[in-house]
Amino acid sequence: MITHEQAVGRLDDFAGGELSGRERREVHRHLESCAECSAEVAALRSLLDEARFLPREVAPERDLWAGIAPRLQPRAAEMPVIALHPRSAWQPRRWLLAAAATVAVAVGSSLATLALLRPPAEGPITLTTIDAAQAQPAATSAFAAFAPAEVEYRRAVDELATLLATRRDRLAPETVATLERSLGIIDIAIAEARTALEKDPNSRELAQMLSTVYDTKVRMLQQAVEL
């Protein structure tokens, strides 16, 4: 049997249905013999019922779009999508750009000339530069074609890492340790893929692998920032 003081301390959780079975039974037994606590629970439940029935939607007094639209930075539509080969279900570049937007990476005119590496139907890799939505084809190695993307990857990684550093103390030490271990492994994979691509600069597969590993790093950092 719990004391009156113990019961009083649990009434909030009891009314909200947040006690375990044993605790709930203990409070319930106390309520059977305590009019004061019973009245308290009834009042709490009445308040909770009212709160639950508040309208889910409330219309503002004015339309707010005019204060939103000018603040929307141009995104994917104006930005090229790097695709080493078509990916129907997954476009890593889209969320990379989102990550970059998340950390407020400045999107300047340089993005308008980012390389777009397209898979050829046959023959050598084709590099297309995007300039004001007009593509100008040019031929170069996969390694060279990947260079502008790598700059963006590194910028996103740097920005996310900086942001993460400001939020590090909110993460559990075990989470930080796991994150650092995983990032270390990814860095090794990046270094190895990059070295291999330098030795075989025309390999689309290696460029794609390097892109994928960078994607993984950016995704991991982005998720860590959002924890």
The answer to whether 94 contacts other proteins (rule: CB under 8 A) is yes
Instruction: State in angstroms the smallest separation of the CB of 163 from other proteins.
Output: 13
For residues 167 and 179, the answer to whether their CB atoms sit within 8 Å is no
**Cβ contacts of residue 211 below 8 Å, gap of 6+?**
82, 84, 92, 146, 149, 153
* One residue of 3, 20, 73, 109 binding other proteins per CB under 8 A: 73
The answer to whether 16 contacts other proteins (rule: CB under 8 A) is yes
Instruction: State in angstroms the smallest separation of the CB of 79 from other proteins.
Output: 8
- Indicate the residue among 135 and 138 with the shorter CB distance to other proteins: 135
Which stretch, 10-18, 125-133, 143-151, 177-185, contacts other proteins (CB under 8 A)? 10-18
The answer to whether 83 contacts other proteins (rule: CB under 8 A) is no
Instruction: State in angstroms the smallest separation of the CB of 99 from other proteins.
Output: 7
Give the interface with other proteins as residue ranges (CB under 8 A): 12-13, 16, 18, 43-44, 47-48, 50-52, 54-62, 64-65, 67-69, 71-79, 94-95, 97-99, 101-102, 170, 222, 226
